[in-house]
Amino acid sequence: MYKFVSYFYALFFSSVVLSQTQIEINSFEQTNADTWTPITFSTPPCTNGADQWDYATILTSISPNHLNQFWGIRDLDGSCGSGAGETLTFPSINTSAYTNISISFDYNLFEFDTGDDLFYTLIINGVSQNEVQLFDGFSNLSTNGWITETLNIPNGTNTVGFQIRVVQNGGGDYGGIDNVRLEGVLTASCFI
């Protein structure tokens, strides 16, 4: 009987410890479903005619990838932003109880041309890391639907924050961001 109980506990804790846990999420729903808040916007949410840096339920051919809304982007050098780019900043979250931490987010870009780009910056233990250019728009490039990007965070990280920066200079191009999530494996010491 002792072997069975020991085996059961070992199996239970290994399955719990090894499973990925959602730490925080933001799908731009503006409800309690979004736990990775508050987002800091470089320019407050704005929709003015065709210009958009705002929550969206649809943007031309883009529909939400997760739940009912996403972040809509169009003509940032117009009346809803700046040609230098706009940012969404997600606050730093305590991740000291987790290993195998990752940030994932979905993006959908349509006909990004020269000067239209997508960047991200990880903020690890309060320090901004180098900005990474994820998408370099030229010659009217599109993602042809939603793409998920996953970023692995080093073990031993105590806090994680995240920033997305979009440069989009107008025209017929547009994009969306959705389902930004922070996940990790809860360490065994949290169960003792």
Q: 145 pLDDT exceeds 80?
A: yes
- Per the prediction, the chain carries an average pLDDT of 90
**Residue partners of 13: CB distance under 8 A and separation at least 6:** 188, 191
Q: Is 177 or 187 the better-scoring residue by pLDDT?
A: 177
Q: How confident is the model at residue 189 (pLDDT cuts 50, 70, 90)?
A: low
**pLDDT for 171:** 73
Q: 1 pLDDT exceeds 70?
A: no
Q: How many domains does the chain have?
A: 1
Query: Could you tell me the residue range of the domain that residue 64 belongs to?
Result: 2-191
Average pLDDT over residues 35-63: 96
Q: 115 pLDDT exceeds 70?
A: yes
To the question of pTM greater than 0.85 for the whole model, the response is yes
d(CA 105, CA 149): 6
Please, are residues 104 and 178 in contact by the beta-carbon 8 Å criterion? no
Supply the CATH number for residue 143's domain.
Answer: 2.60.120.200
**pLDDT for 110:** 95
Q: 179 pLDDT exceeds 60?
A: yes
DSSP the chain: -HHHHHHHHHHHHHHHHHS-EEEEEE-S-SSTT--S-PPEESS--EEETTEEEEEES-BTTB--SSTT-EEEEE-TTTTSS-TT-EEEEEEEEE-TTEEEEEEEEEEEEESB-TT-EEEEEEEETTEE---EEEEE--SSB--SS-EEEEEE--TT--EEEEEEEEE---TT-EEEEEEEEEEEEE-GGGG-
**What value, to the nearest 5°, has the Cα angle with vertex 179 and ends 177 and 183?**
130
Which tokens is 112 given? 């990004």
Q: How confident is the model at residue 140 (pLDDT cuts 50, 70, 90)?
A: confident
Residue 8 main-chain phi, psi, to 5 deg = -60, -50
